[in-house]
RNA sequence: GGUUGGAUAACAUAAUGGUAAUGUAUAAGAUUGCAAAUCUUAGAAUGACGGUUCAAUUCCGUCUCUAACCUCCA
């Protein structure tokens, strides 16, 4: 199936063709590990997880790499503030990220390179840039000289002159041009650092991605993804340094950028303090609710996070699971994902469309509930999108919650006894009592089932 | 100030040069001892003004509002 993707570089939707059909390559900017992660961090993970699945469905070998930035000033600052070793911060944060992703049903990427594992390669990368006159040493720093790269600004569609004009770019006196960016910066004694030809120091942020892409994949990859806010300066700088290092080879053929998660009309960001941590959200809702919420709008659009959004996702999944709860589990191993779902996702990862297809499959399924083929295909397709992995019964009663199933079962028996003797006021009292406990009853034919109230 | 997007019913979200789809919510009915769930049906939308066109929500222009980036960000 033809995959079409909006390429930020050309600002057009293009048909995706890998350089090598036998080995498709994708790199996505992962987290900087210095704390807990918010839903804004989850969005690219979910989006590119879907894309990876789609690519794997189409091509034999897909290598998807998502990095971990484990050296950065923010990490250093966090370590100082908490008075602990840097490694303690990065380990904890990385573990948190992994468990968050798992609960969101985000599959592991094939490779997960850590910046600190590529320091010597980064040093070589810088040396090469210096040799080629694309970088210069100044006061212990090594800086990339943007004037040595004519296309600077192309990826993010901006003119360096405009940016300097009315902008907030701080002019450091060790820079030739205000937009020159740091490849290597000196470290104080109490800061993490590595020896280099320019003294003890650490790499600049942008360098790791270029270096790791070169080491893992080679000069040019098929797809490079990340948040819209990384387009400039991060990706622009990656482009610049890789282009120069690799003698004019493009770093990536397709650039994909996801829109920001917004809280009440403005971007969720740590500096604004309006963040929602994934681990906190997971106290109130299952991972699939977060995942469905994140997929409810197209990945390039901003996504407004709200209670309404979450409630709707909850409701949708509850409806699906309630239906499935009435039937036995089925083996879906050899079932195909619905073609219309695939074609929706193949059209620039159109998740809202795919979700609406899922709804229409569900509608058909309800009309023909014993149709095993339809049911398998529905579940398989939902699974493909990272949904409906729970056992329906577990989802509905949420066994991890603190309701006592024994007490509930006894009350249900008591109520049904009352109903049989037409003692309806007693029956209704029991139902109200259960409702107060957060339990909703459903009388279907002669059987009474229950589920947790959707709150 | 510069750059790039966005505006579709109550809310959220797709699509399209020619019946604007989907979910939630709402209303009516069926079902139910009452509910819940389910089923049937209904109402409800292309920001404003121009232009191109037989035809524009879609293409072009102007405006309004709004977001992101230009400093760390996903």
Question: What phi and psi, each to the nearest 5 degrees, are found at residue A27?
Answer: -130, 135
- Sketch out chain A's domains with CATH numbers: 4-258 (3.40.50.620), 263-396 (no CATH), 401-452 (no CATH)
Q: What is the pLDDT of residue A224?
A: 97
Quick check: A166 pLDDT over 80?
A: no
A248-284 burial: b if 16+ Cβ within 10 Å, else e? eeebbbbbbbbbbbbbeeebbbeeeeebebbeebbee
Q: What is the pLDDT of residue A168?
A: 55
Q: What is the pLDDT of residue A169?
A: 54
- Rounded to an integer, the average pLDDT of A191-216 is 95
Of A305, A312, A300, nearest in space to A280 by CA = A305
3-state helix, strand, coil in chain A (%, to 5): 45, 15, 35
Distance between the alpha carbon (CA) of A160 and the C1' atom of B69, Å: 14
- Full DSSP string of A411-443: HHHHHHHHHHTT-HHHHHHHHHHHHHTTEEEEE
Let me know how long chain A is: 455
Distance between the alpha carbon (CA) of A144 and the C1' atom of B54, Å: 58
Please tell me the least confidently modeled range out of A99-108, A168-177, A415-424: A168-177
Nucleotide nearest to A448 (CA to C1'): B36
Distance between the alpha carbon (CA) of A418 and the C1' atom of B33, Å: 12
Q: Judge whether A125 and A210 are in contact, CB under 8 Å.
A: yes
Going by pLDDT thresholds of 50, 70 and 90, the confidence category of residue A201 is very high
The two tokens of residue A440 are 């909703």
Distance between the alpha carbon (CA) of A384 and the C1' atom of B25, Å: 29
Which of A's residues 302-331 have CB atoms within 7 A of nucleic strand B? 302-304, 306, 308-309, 311-312, 315-316, 319, 322
The two tokens of residue A76 are 């250093």
Quick check: A394 pLDDT over 80?
A: yes
Give me the sheet containing A221-227, strands edge to edge: A62-66, A24-28, A221-227, A252-258
Residues 6+ apart with CB under 8 A from A323: A362, A365, A366, A369
Quick check: A161 pLDDT over 60?
A: yes
Q: What is the pLDDT of residue A245?
A: 96
pLDDT in tens, A21-54: 999 999 999 999 999 999 999 999 999 999 999 9
Distance between the alpha carbon (CA) of A293 and the C1' atom of B56, Å: 33
Quick check: A451 pLDDT over 60?
A: yes
- Full DSSP string of A363-409: HHHHHSTT-HHHHHHHHHHHHHTT---S-HHHHHH-TTSS--HHHHH
Q: What percent of chain A has pLDDT over 70?
A: 97
Distance between the alpha carbon (CA) of A268 and the C1' atom of B62, Å: 33
CB count within 10 Å of CB A339 equals 13
Please return the burial class of A233, using the count of CB atoms within 10 Å of its CB with bins 0-12, 13-18 and 19+.
Answer: middle
pLDDT in tens, A345-382: 999 999 999 999 999 999 999 999 999 999 999 999 99
Q: What percent of chain A has pLDDT over 90?
A: 81
> How far is Cα A434 from Cα A423, in angstroms, rounded to an integer?
17
Which of A's residues 361-420 have CB atoms within 7 A of nucleic strand B? 363, 366-367, 419
Cβ A9 to strand B below 7 Å: no
Distance between the alpha carbon (CA) of A431 and the C1' atom of B34, Å: 11
> How far is Cα A272 from Cα A275, in angstroms, rounded to an integer?
8
Which residues is A391 bridged to in the sheet?
A: none
Cβ A206 to strand B below 7 Å: no
Quick check: A401 pLDDT over 80?
A: no
Q: How far, CA to CA in Å, does A254 sit from each of A17, A150, A250?
A: 10, 20, 10
The two tokens of residue A293 are 């919420």
Of A334, A433, A415, A410, nearest in space to A376 by CA = A334
Q: Are strands A261-263 and A221-227 parallel, antiparallel or unpaired?
A: unpaired
> How far is Cα A398 from Cα A418, in angstroms, rounded to an integer?
28
Rounded to 5°, the CA angle A277-A281-A282 comes to: 115
Three-class secondary structure of residue A131 per DSSP: helix
Q: What is the DSSP letter of A136?
A: E
Cβ A267 to strand B below 7 Å: yes
How much is the CA Rg of chain A, to the nearest whole Å? Answer: 26
Please tell me the least confidently modeled range out of A69-83, A232-246, A430-444: A430-444
pLDDT in tens, A292-320: 999 999 999 999 999 999 999 999 999 99
Please return the burial class of A14, using the count of CB atoms within 10 Å of its CB with bins 0-12, 13-18 and 19+.
Answer: middle
Q: Which nucleotides of B are covered by protein (CB under 7 A)?
A: 1-6, 11-15, 21-25, 32-40, 66-74
Three-class secondary structure of residue A17 per DSSP: coil
Distance between the alpha carbon (CA) of A304 and the C1' atom of B17, Å: 31
Q: Are strands A24-28 and A62-66 parallel, antiparallel or unpaired?
A: parallel
Q: What is the pLDDT of residue A243?
A: 96
pLDDT in tens, A225-274: 999 999 999 999 999 999 999 999 999 999 999 999 998 778 888 777 88
- Rounded to an integer, the average pLDDT of A319-333 is 93
C1' of nucleotide B12: residue with nearest CA: A309
Of A449, A454, A455, nearest in space to A408 by CA = A449
Of A12, A11, A49, A16, nearest in space to A30 by CA = A49
- Rounded to an integer, the average pLDDT of A68-97 is 95
The two tokens of residue A11 are 């600002």
Q: What is the ipTM of this complex?
A: 0.95
């Amino acid at each position: 199936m033809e995959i079409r993707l909006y390429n930020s570089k050309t600002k057009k939707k293009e048909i995706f063709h890998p350089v090598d059909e036998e080995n498709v390559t994708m790199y996505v900017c992962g987290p900087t590990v210095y704390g807990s992660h918010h839903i804004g961090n989850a969005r690219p993970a979910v989006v590119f997880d879907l894309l990876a699945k789609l690519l794997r469905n189409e091509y034999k070998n897909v290598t998807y790499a998502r990095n971990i930035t484990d050296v950065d000033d923010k990490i250093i600052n966090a370590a100082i503030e908490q008075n602990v070793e840097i490694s303690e911060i990065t380990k904890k944060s990385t573990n948190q990220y992994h468990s968050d992703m798992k609960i969101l049903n985000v599959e592991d990427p094939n490779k997960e390179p850590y910046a600190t594992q590529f320091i010597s390669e980064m040093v070589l990368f810088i040396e090469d840039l210096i040799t080629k006159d694309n970088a210069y040493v100044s006061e212990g720093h090594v800086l990339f000289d943007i004037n040595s790269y004519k296309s600077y600004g192309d990826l993010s569609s901006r003119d360096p002159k405009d940016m300097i004009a009315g902008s907030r770019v701080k002019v450091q006196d060790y820079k030739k041009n205000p937009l020159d960016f740091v490849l290597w910066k000196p470290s104080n004694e109490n800061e993490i650092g590595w020896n280099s030809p320019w003294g003890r120091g650490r790499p600049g942020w942008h360098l790791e991605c270029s270096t790791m892409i070169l080491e893992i994949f080679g000069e040019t990859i098929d797809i490079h993804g990340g948040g819209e806010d990384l387009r400039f300066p991060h990706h622009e700088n990656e482009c610049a340094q890789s282009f120069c290092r690799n003698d004019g080879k493009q770093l990536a053929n397709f650039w994909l950028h996801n829109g920001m998660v917004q809280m009440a009309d403005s971007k969720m960001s740590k500096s604004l303090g309006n963040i929602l941590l994934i681990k906190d959200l997971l106290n109130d809702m299952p991972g699939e609710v977060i995942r469905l919420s994140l997929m409810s709008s197209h990945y390039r659009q901003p996504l407004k996070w709200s209670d309404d959004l979450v409630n709707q996702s909850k409701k949708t999944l509850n409806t699906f699971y309630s239906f499935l709860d009435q039937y036995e589990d089925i083996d879906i191993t050899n079932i195909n994902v619905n073609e219309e779902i695939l074609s929706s996702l193949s059209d620039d990862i159109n998740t809202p469309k795919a979700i609406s297809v899922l709804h229409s499959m569900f509608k058909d399924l309800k009309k023909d509930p014993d149709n095993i083929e339809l049911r398998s295909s529905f579940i398989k397709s939902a699974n493909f999108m990272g949904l409906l992995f729970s056992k329906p019964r577990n989802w509905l009663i949420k066994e991890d919650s603190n309701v006592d199933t024994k007490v509930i079962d006894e009350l249900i028996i008591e109520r049904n006894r009352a109903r049989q003797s037409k003692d309806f006021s007693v029956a209704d009292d029991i139902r109200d009592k259960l409702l107060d406990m957060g339990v909703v009853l459903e009388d279907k034919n002669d059987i009474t089932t229950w589920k947790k109230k959707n709150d």
